[in-house]
Amino acid sequence: MRLWIVLGAVNAFLSVAAGAFGAHALKARLPEDLLTIFETGARYHMYHSLGLIAIGLVAQLRPSPLLSGAGWAMTAGIVLFSGSLYALALTGVRILGAITPLGGVGFLAGWAMLAAAVWRQGA
């Protein structure tokens, strides 16, 4: 399950890049409310990048279809949650915020599946 560790590391890289972009390039260009939205996207991007790495590490010990589901759910969550917040902040199009909760559901599902996989397998 190297895939999840690699995806986690790539996404962690991207979240650090997004955070730096927000802190340096966007700070003077975005209103405070949109900058806060962008920073929230970067923060949750990092949290769930670490979640992907955790899934990959657990999967190396005890592979499980639930762990694959957890990885895909978190990946979808990153794209939908963080992606929609990045897009909202950069464009100011508030309707993009309607996508964000779908990403949140992906995050919740990913963590629930990770917990269920570990509980079932005793990993």
What are the pLDDT digits (tens) for 83-122? 999 999 999 999 999 999 999 999 999 999 999 999 998 6
Helix (H) / strand (E) element for 101: namely: helix 100-121
The length of the chain in residues reads 123
- How high is the pLDDT of residue 82? 98
Question: Is residue 73 scored above 90 in pLDDT?
Answer: yes
Q: Residue 62 has what DSSP assignment?
A: S
Angle subtended by helix axes 2-20 and 32-61, to nearest 10: 160
